[in-house]
Amino acid sequence: MSDIEVQDNANTDKEQRTNGGGDEGDAWGSHESSSVRRYAKMPVDKNAPFYNMNHKYRGMAIIFNHEHFDIHSLKSRTGTNVDSDNLSRVLKGLGFRVTVLTNLKSEDVNRYLQQTSEMDHSDYDCVLIAVLTHGEMGMLYAKDTHYKPDNLWYYFTADKCPTLAGKPKIFFIQACQGDKLDGGITLTSRSETDGSSSASYKIPIHADFLIVFSTVPGFYSWRNTTRGSWFMQALCEELRYSGTERDILTLLTFVCQKVALDYESNTPDVMTMHQQKQVPCITSMLTRLLVFGKK
């Protein structure tokens, strides 16, 4: 069977709507999905607890590293090359084929993402995209203009990139999501008085995505000009020491712990920015455990 086949599904959909039992969407309306049913090769049995990470290659990893901008209000991101170098080194150690792209314009970012999604990923375990840039609430910056974060994963849904269907699609985004500051809170000591596994199956086109922002929506993200961003420092350290042992969500929990507890801004000359905190934000649509076992 080829990677994608289609067949007329209009009658089947009609029967399901008329004879089916009672599932409704929590929205005023909806856009009709395509009337054709798509197929992709099954990378792992339906009830397998782990993703299949035993393909010939680990997968492609693309790092969009933005240091300089044409937009006058955006300062150069001193220290981002430290992040890019550290992440590239760690990902290569995990078996990824790493490409670093520096200071691309929005059109070029979009073109490269589309070209990558159109490649044959049949022999790859997964794909990983990292973006190191400036950001605001609901937008990221390329060299020349801003774009929406969902542009990054738009081309990688299962219907658009069938050779990655059922495989992890990972996005790490180091960027501010606003200008709010997190002053933290001090915690005091706690008082003592306190069907067949091999049968075909259908998946949502947005399944198997993992999206990690360096900070929560609306808030500032911190970067040290000599050591790199807090998030990338913690992420690279955890991937380096635990990347082949822990599942990714457990690993990312410890990344969050490290950023939240071990880092604090040091800007005594600007007291409003001094001793501020940060915690990454994880959105997971993963449907299995993901471990980067040794290749």
- Least trusted range by pLDDT, from 13-17, 88-92, 180-184: 13-17
CB 97 within 8 A of CB 59: yes
Mean pLDDT of 189-206: 55
Mean pLDDT of 42-61: 93
Read off the DSSP letter of residue 267.
-
3-class secondary-structure state, position 98: strand
CB 120 within 8 A of CB 161: no
Q: Binning pLDDT at 50, 70 and 90, where does residue 134 land?
A: very high
Q: Ramachandran region of residue 218, left (φ > 0), alpha (ψ -120 to 50) or beta?
A: left
Higher pLDDT, residue 281 or 9:
281
What pLDDT shows up at residue 19?
A: 52
Q: Binning pLDDT at 50, 70 and 90, where does residue 15 land?
A: very low
CB 130 within 8 A of CB 61: yes
| pLDDT above 70 as % of the chain | 82
Q: What does residue 182 show for φ and ψ, rounded to 5 degrees?
A: -110, 100
Q: What does residue 283 show for φ and ψ, rounded to 5 degrees?
A: -120, 115
What pLDDT shows up at residue 17?
A: 45
For residue 102 the two structure tokens come to 């520096």
Question: Alpha-carbon torsion 113, 154, 127, 161, what sign?
Answer: negative
Read off the DSSP letter of residue 262.
H
pLDDT over threshold 80, residue 190: no
Read off the DSSP letter of residue 149.
T
User: What per-residue string of b and e applies to 106-119 under the rule 16 or more CB within 10 Å gives b?
Assistant: beebbebbeebbee
Q: How high is the mean pLDDT of the chain?
A: 87
What pLDDT shows up at residue 275?
A: 93
Q: Residue ranges of the domains in the chain? A: 53-179+203-284
How many angstroms from the chain centroid is the CA of residue 286?
11
Catalytic residue at 134? yes
Mean pLDDT of 197-206: 63
Q: What does residue 165 show for φ and ψ, rounded to 5 degrees?
A: -60, 130
* Crossing angle of helices 230-242 and 80-93, rounded to 10°: 20
Which CATH fold topology does 53-179+203-284 show? Rossmann fold (3.40.50)
Read off the DSSP letter of residue 94.
T
Q: Binning pLDDT at 50, 70 and 90, where does residue 44 land?
A: confident
Dump pLDDT digits (tens) for 63-99.
999 999 999 999 999 999 999 999 999 999 999 999 9
Which is catalytic among the residues 134, 161, 236, 256?
134
For residue 118 the two structure tokens come to 């159109």
Q: Which residues pair with 141 in a beta bridge?
A: 146
Of how many residues is the chain composed? 295
Q: Which helix (H) or strand (E) holds 141?
A: strand 139-141
What pLDDT shows up at residue 295?
A: 84
For residue 152 the two structure tokens come to 């990054």
- Least trusted range by pLDDT, from 46-50, 87-91, 103-107, 128-132: 46-50
Render 273-293 in DSSP notation, one character per residue.
Answer: GTT-B---EEEE---SB----
Q: How far apart are the first and last CA of the chain?
A: 28
Q: What does residue 83 show for φ and ψ, rounded to 5 degrees?
A: -60, -50
Q: Binning pLDDT at 50, 70 and 90, where does residue 3 land?
A: very low
Mean pLDDT of 247-264: 98
Which is catalytic among the residues 66, 121, 161, 176?
176
CB 51 within 8 A of CB 125: yes
Q: Which residues pair with 173 in a beta bridge?
A: 131, 213
Rg, the chain, Cα only: 21
Q: Binning pLDDT at 50, 70 and 90, where does residue 182 land?
A: confident
Mean pLDDT of 124-150: 97
Dump pLDDT digits (tens) for 218-246.
999 999 999 999 999 999 999 999 999 99
Mean pLDDT of 91-109: 99
Higher pLDDT, residue 15 or 247:
247
pLDDT over threshold 70, residue 43: yes
Q: What does residue 228 show for φ and ψ, rounded to 5 degrees?
A: 95, 180
What pLDDT shows up at residue 141?
A: 98
What pLDDT shows up at residue 2?
A: 34
Q: What pTM, to 2 d.p., does this model score?
A: 0.85
